[in-house]
Amino acid sequence: MADLNAGLADKGTNFSQTHSIRCGGLSLDLSKPAVMGILNVTPDSFFDGGNYITATQIIDRAGEMLNQGASIIDVGALSTRPNTTGGTAEEESGRLIPAIELLAGHFPGVIISADTYRASVARQAVEAGAAIINDISGGTMDDEMSRFIAVSNAAYVLMHIKGTPATMQENPEYTDVVAEVSAFFEKQLQPYISVGKENIILDPGFGFGKNLYDNYRLLARLKEFANSYFPLLVGVSRKSMINQVLQIRPAEALNGTTVLNTIALINGASILRVHDVKEAIEAAKLVELLKDNNL
């Protein structure tokens, strides 16, 4: 993973020394782990089941997550569940942009993340007040995305996916999943390293074109990514890597989620993307004490 630092090595710093990243006009404090709360404004999201559609519901749910300690609200308007195509750009932006405008107006100073792989939607989202673009394709599904992000002040979550949401779970195979995800990061980072963009967050993309064992391999070896210049985001909340092992439904997966979030934190995650903010904050507080070097 040393190569991930190559383009930035001359800056004489790495993420472990910077502790914050710029998100548009805002700054995200990463001196301790941050929690990103998931806010779905889709009619068919797999866990929240299509709640949070009306303006009141959006404000109430975001307010609740902020009260519980979330630093970021991640707004998504497109289902990226396996075997779906998601919907058109118009359907997506028609739900996403009003939600972002509403949140930006109601919670000024709060970091809003827009979950989209489309450059046109990302541009509108930033204009509407989004400070982070969360791209589950890491720039692979829209050639315009890297051009936009390279010149934007918005932070960028560069997530690994193998394939596309429609096909990713068909039969993913890796020789070395950690090496392949690292190589993907290096390739997809190039447009940003070449312009000196620093506010990028890396995400191994749990469940996105990985089988059960690939997901656990990534979690076990997360430290190999955490050594890079860029902070790491982990999203395991109520995912099948928990439900499959425990033979439970997503609604029953909070305890398993907390267990995996704890492991992710111990292994160097800086940001947890979750449905359940309170429990993630608790895990972060406890692990921070464990990591305290004065022990």
Residue ranges binding ligand 7PM (CB under 6 A): 38, 45-46, 79-81, 115, 134, 136, 157, 159, 203, 205-206, 233, 235, 237, 239, 273
- Exposure string of 182-213, with b = 16+ CB inside 10 Å and e = fewer, is bebbbebbeebbeeebbbbbbbbbbbbbbbee
Nearer to ligand 7PM, 71 or 134 (CB): 134
Q: Is 239 a catalytic residue?
A: yes
Question: Please, what is the minimum distance in Å from the beta carbon of residue 74 to ligand 7PM?
Answer: 7
Q: Which of 239, 278, 285, 291 is catalytic?
A: 239
What residue type is assigned to position 110 of the chain?
A: V
Nearer to ligand 7PM, 58 or 290 (CB): 58
Question: Please, what is the minimum distance in Å from the beta carbon of residue 200 to ligand 7PM?
Answer: 12
Nearer to ligand 7PM, 22 or 81 (CB): 81
Distances (CA, A) of 252 to 27, 47, 49, 65, 239: 35, 10, 14, 20, 11
Question: Please, what is the minimum distance in Å from the beta carbon of residue 111 to ligand 7PM?
Answer: 14
Q: Which of 61, 95, 162, 273 is catalytic?
A: 273
Round to whole Å and give the CA distance between 291 and 295. Answer: 8
Q: What tokens were used for 227? A: 């050594």
Question: Please, what is the minimum distance in Å from the beta carbon of residue 274 to ligand 7PM?
Answer: 9
Round to whole Å and give the CA distance between 37 and 152. Answer: 23
Q: Is 273 a catalytic residue?
A: yes
The rounded Cα 20 to chain-centroid distance in angstroms is 16
What residue type is assigned to position 62 of the chain?
A: A
What is the set of active-site residues?
A: 239, 273
